[in-house]
């Protein structure tokens, strides 16, 4: 590759990534050389500004023709753009929460939190716009390794250390699975480039490579299931979510999970729809859907039933997060024409309601130095606004009409029923487990409205987390009442057919 081709690339396509990269580097250097007395919270605002700039670049790219640079390894298309918007907004809100996070002397190196978050975000963004197995994997690992460290940021807390350790070990196993699966794909097609693979793969004669390809599918999926915490790779989530600092927990449950779905869609949809399936005239992806649907069903059941027993609010939300990952697999299994739309919308709704709920949890658990569900007792009589916002988030998570979560579930539902073949069993499981989920969400609500409050100490609400909370509440309601606005924008601006080569 010579200088000329290098200069001929449209580098502005990567402007959002460059912005984040520069911010991360600058922050890490400034953190090293700046005086100890300088409040590291400034970093958070600086990082937030950086994400804002990246978002600006991203929005200016909407409507861009699908294009690839760097020897077809970096791809700009509707898929990457739309999901990167979610990743950036999610990270921005996490950053705002992080600025307000106080952990009584356990957060020794505050600066690290901000630039590791940035590098994790960079990894997630790379996952969204890579068109090559190698860069995808590098993005995945960048996200993972940053997250491992982030989980252990509360250095003096044994729980946080335990969380980091468990996360590393399980992450290592999952990476091994994924790589093993990807190696099969490479072995069968002779290329790591997704565009090449999707061309090559249809040439594989069924009697030769089919079994290997099916095994590759399962290996890759199970490996990536770690990131989205679905069965059989969901066990780490409760322990890690509980141990990690709250902003990191949110990051793992929202941004990291979104990135996980992004990579699953990107890899599996670029490769397997083009391979011959087990039966004639079907694609391998269709043949494999039955396994994914079973996994999705077990995930929903496991997440929602185990959540019933939890008293620790972070653990409860970990199981809830597992359940939501199960819901999110339903449109993937249904594979209707509305798949992208419903997954994107649900992820957006989940982002808003989950970050919002965690913002309230953060305020309350810092106030009472506990994570038991009883910290919410009588919240309505102490901070009515905050209780109302938490109610909005809980209702949305439970999928009650009027909120974003309901529209998201409705989308998924209709997709599952109107697809061909229709996935009514999965839809039924989703409905049943949603009903189960009412119990624990309303348990929290009952605490807020129907218990007397224990103390009368005023609850402190730092500015960052309040902004996040209000934004999420407004977003949840807006998406719930006027989903047409977002869905119309989505349908007119993003054409997902671009994703395929």
Partner 1 sequence: MLENAWLIPLFPLLSFLLLLFFGKQWKEMSSHVGIGFTGVSFLLSVIVLFTQMANGSGGAEMVWLTIGQLEFRFGVVVTPLNALMLVIVSLVSFLVHIYSKGYMHSDERLTTFYSYLGLFTFAMLALVISPNLLQLYIFWELVGVGSFLLIGFYFYKEEAKAAAKKAFIMTRIGDVGLLIGMILLFWQVGSLEFNDIFTAVGGGEVPEGLLTLIAILIFVGAVGKSGQFPLHTWLPDAMEGPTPVSALIHAATMVAAGVYLVAALFPVFEASPAAMTVVAVVGGFTAIFAATIGLVQTDIKRVLAYSTVSQLGYMMMALGAAGYVAGVFHLMTHAFFKALLFLAAGSVIHAVHNQNIEKMGGLWTKMRITGPVFLIGTLAISGVPLFSGFFSKDEILLATWYDGRYGLFIIGLVAAFFTAFYMFRLFFMVFTGEHRSEVTEVRESPRSMTIPMVVLAFLAAFSGYINTPWFGTFLGDWLAGDSEFLPFEHHEGPVWVMMAASLIAFAGIGLAYLIYYKKSLQRDFLSSHMPATYTLVFNKYFIDEFYQYTVEYAARAVGYLGSFIEKYIVEVIVAAVSGVTRAAGSLGSKLQSGQVQTYGAIAFIGLAILVFLVVWTGGYL
Partner 2 sequence: MADLFTYQNSYLVVVIFLALGILLPIVALSLGRLLRPNKPTEQKRTTYESGIDPFQDARVQFNARYYIFALMFVIFDVETIFLYPWAVAYEELGVFALIEMLIFVVMLLIGLIYAWKKKVLRWI
Q: Which of 52, 187, 190, 384 binds partner 2 (CB under 8 A)?
A: 187
| Under rule CB under 8 A, residue 454 binds partner 1 | no
* 325, containing H or E segment: helix 313-334
Show the tokens assigned to 274. Answer: 């083009």
Written in H, E and C, the secondary structure of 4-53 is: HHHHHCCHHHHHHHHHHHHHHHHHHHHHHHCCCCCCCHHHHHHHHHHHHH
Sites for partner 1 among residues 328-367 (CB under 8 A): 336-338, 341-342
| Minimum CB–partner distance for residue 182 and partner 2 (Å) | 16
User: Binding mask 296-335 vs partner 1 (x if CB under 8 A, - otherwise)?
Assistant: -----xx--xxxxx--------------------------
Show the tokens assigned to 18. Answer: 């460059």
**Residue in the block written with tokens 């700039």:** 53
Q: 372 — phi, psi (to 5°)?
A: -70, 155
Q: Which of 129, 174, 258, 293 binds partner 1 (CB under 8 A)?
A: 174
Show the tokens assigned to 54. Answer: 């990246």
* Best CA proximity match to 195, nearest among 135, 256, 244: 135
Which residue, 200 or 341, is less far from partner 1 as judged by CB?
341
| Under rule CB under 8 A, residue 215 binds partner 2 | no
| Under rule CB under 8 A, residue 371 binds partner 1 | no
| Minimum CB–partner distance for residue 197 and partner 1 (Å) | 20
Could you tell me if 416 and 296 are in contact, meaning their C-beta atoms sit under 8 angstroms apart? Answer: no
| Under rule CB under 8 A, residue 420 binds partner 2 | no
| Minimum CB–partner distance for residue 392 and partner 1 (Å) | 12
| Under rule CB under 8 A, residue 389 binds partner 1 | no
- Note if the bond before 232 is cis, omega within 30 degrees: yes
- Note if the bond before 473 is cis, omega within 30 degrees: no
Residues 6+ apart with CB under 8 A from 114: 27, 31, 40, 43, 44, 46, 47, 95, 98
What is the three-class DSSP state of 453? coil
Task: State the binding partner of 3 from partner 1, partner 2, none, CB within 5 to 8 A by kind.
Answer: partner 2
Which residue, 68 or 352, is less far from partner 1 as judged by CB?
352
Q: 93 — phi, psi (to 5°)?
A: -65, -40
Between CA 465 and CA 265, with CA 247 as vertex, the angle to 5 degrees is 115
Could you tell me if 351 and 86 are in contact, meaning their C-beta atoms sit under 8 angstroms apart? Answer: yes
Which residue, 125 or 392, is less far from partner 1 as judged by CB?
392
| Minimum CB–partner distance for residue 207 and partner 2 (Å) | 6
Q: Which of 2, 65, 279, 420 binds partner 2 (CB under 8 A)?
A: 2
Task: State the binding partner of 231 from partner 1, partner 2, none, CB within 5 to 8 A by kind.
Answer: partner 1
Which residue, 145 or 414, is less far from partner 2 as judged by CB?
145
| Under rule CB under 8 A, residue 9 binds partner 1 | no
Angstrom distance (rounded) from CA 364 to CA 321? 20
Stretch that binds partner 1, among 79-87, 136-144, 411-419, 493-501 (CB under 8 A): 411-419
Between CA 407 and CA 320, with CA 267 as vertex, the angle to 5 degrees is 40
| Under rule CB under 8 A, residue 197 binds partner 1 | no
Could you tell me if 284 and 276 are in contact, meaning their C-beta atoms sit under 8 angstroms apart? Answer: yes
Sites for partner 1 among residues 262-281 (CB under 8 A): 278
| Under rule CB under 8 A, residue 474 binds partner 1 | no
| Under rule CB under 8 A, residue 435 binds partner 1 | yes
Stretch that binds partner 2, among 24-32, 348-356, 421-429, 443-451 (CB under 8 A): 24-32
Stretch that binds partner 2, among 174-182, 208-216, 224-232, 234-242 (CB under 8 A): 208-216
Sites for partner 2 among residues 118-157 (CB under 8 A): none
Angstrom distance (rounded) from CA 322 to CA 307? 10
* Best CA proximity match to 330, nearest among 424, 223, 226: 424
Which residue, 350 or 501, is less far from partner 1 as judged by CB?
350
Sites for partner 1 among residues 201-220 (CB under 8 A): 210-211, 214-215, 217-219
Stretch that binds partner 2, among 27-35, 160-168, 343-351, 455-463 (CB under 8 A): 27-35
| Minimum CB–partner distance for residue 455 and partner 2 (Å) | 41
Q: How many CB atoms lie within 10 A of CB 309?
A: 10
Number of H helices, E strands in the chain: 21, 2
Stretch that binds partner 2, among 151-159, 205-213, 371-379, 477-485 (CB under 8 A): 205-213
Angstrom distance (rounded) from CA 259 to CA 252? 10
Show the tokens assigned to 482. Answer: 């006027």
| Under rule CB under 8 A, residue 280 binds partner 2 | no
Task: State the binding partner of 105 from partner 1, partner 2, none, CB within 5 to 8 A by kind.
Answer: none
Q: Which of 285, 289, 347, 400 binds partner 1 (CB under 8 A)?
A: 400
Strands 67-69 and 74-76: antiparallel
Q: Which of 111, 209, 378, 415 binds partner 2 (CB under 8 A)?
A: 209
Which residue, 421 or 452, is less far from partner 1 as judged by CB?
452
Q: For binding to partner 2 (CB under 8 A), which residues are involved?
A: 1-3, 6, 25, 28-29, 32-33, 187, 205, 207-209, 211-212
């Amino acid at each position: 590759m010579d200088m000329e081709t290098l200069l001929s690339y449209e580098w502005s396509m990567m402007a959002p990534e460059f912005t984040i990269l520069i911010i991360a580097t600058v922050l890490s250097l400034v953190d090293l050389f700046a005086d100890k007395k300088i409040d590291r919270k400034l970093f958070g605002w600086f990082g937030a500004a950086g994400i804002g700039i990246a978002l600006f670049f991203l929005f200016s790219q909407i409507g861009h023709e699908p294009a690839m640079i760097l020897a077809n390894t970096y791809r700009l298309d509707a898929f990457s753009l739309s999901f990167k918007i979610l990743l950036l907004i999610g990270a921005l809100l996490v950053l705002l929460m992080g600025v307000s996070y106080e952990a009584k002397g356990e957060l020794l190196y505050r600066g690290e939190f901000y630039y590791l978050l940035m590098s994790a975000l960079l990894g997630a963004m790379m996952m969204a716009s890579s068109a090559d197995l190698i860069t995808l994997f590098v993005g995945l690992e960048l996200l993972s390794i940053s997250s491992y460290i982030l989980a252990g940021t509360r250095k003096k807390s044994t729980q946080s250390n335990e969380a980091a350790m468990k996360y590393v070990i399980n992450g290592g196993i999952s990476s091994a699975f994924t790589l093993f699966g990807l190696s099969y794909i490479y072995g069968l097609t002779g290329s790591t480039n997704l565009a090449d693979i999707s061309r090559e793969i249809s040439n594989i004669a069924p009697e030769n490579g089919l079994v290997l390809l099916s095994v590759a599918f399962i290996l890759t999926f199970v490996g990536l299931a770690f990131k989205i915490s679905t069965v059989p790779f969901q066990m780490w989530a409760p322990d890690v979510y509980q141990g990690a600092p709250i902003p990191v927990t949110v990051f793992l449950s929202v941004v990291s999970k979104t990135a996980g779905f992004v990579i699953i869609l990107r890899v599996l949809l670029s490769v397997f729809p083009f391979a011959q399936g087990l039966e004639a005239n079907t694609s391998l992806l269709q043949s494999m859907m039955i396994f994914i649907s079973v996994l999705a069903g077990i995930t929903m059941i496991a997440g929602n039933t185990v959540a019933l027993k939890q008293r620790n609010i972070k653990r409860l939300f970990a199981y809830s997060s597992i359940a939501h990952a199960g819901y999110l697999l339903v449109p993937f299994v249904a594979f209707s024409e509305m798949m992208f739309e419903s997954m994107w919308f649900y992820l957006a709704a989940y982002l808003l309601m989950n970050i919002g709920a965690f913002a309230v949890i953060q305020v309350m658990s810092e106030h009472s130095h506990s994570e038991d569900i009883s910290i919410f007792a009588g919240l309505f009589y102490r901070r009515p606004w905050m209780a109302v916002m938490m109610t909005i988030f809980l209702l949305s998570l439970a999928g009650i009409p009027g909120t974003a979560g309901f529209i998201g579930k409705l989308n998924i539902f209709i997709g599952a029923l109107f697809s061909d073949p229709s996935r009514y069993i999965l839809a039924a499981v989703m409905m049943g487990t949603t009903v189960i989920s009412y119990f624990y969400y309303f348990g929290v609500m009952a605490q807020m409205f129907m218990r007397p409050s224990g103390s009368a100490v005023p609850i402190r609400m730092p500015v960052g987390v309040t902004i996040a909370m209000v934004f999420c509440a407004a977003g949840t309601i807006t998406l719930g009442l006027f989903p047409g606005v977002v869905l119309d924008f989505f349908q007119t601006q993003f054409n997902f057919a671009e994703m395929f080569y």
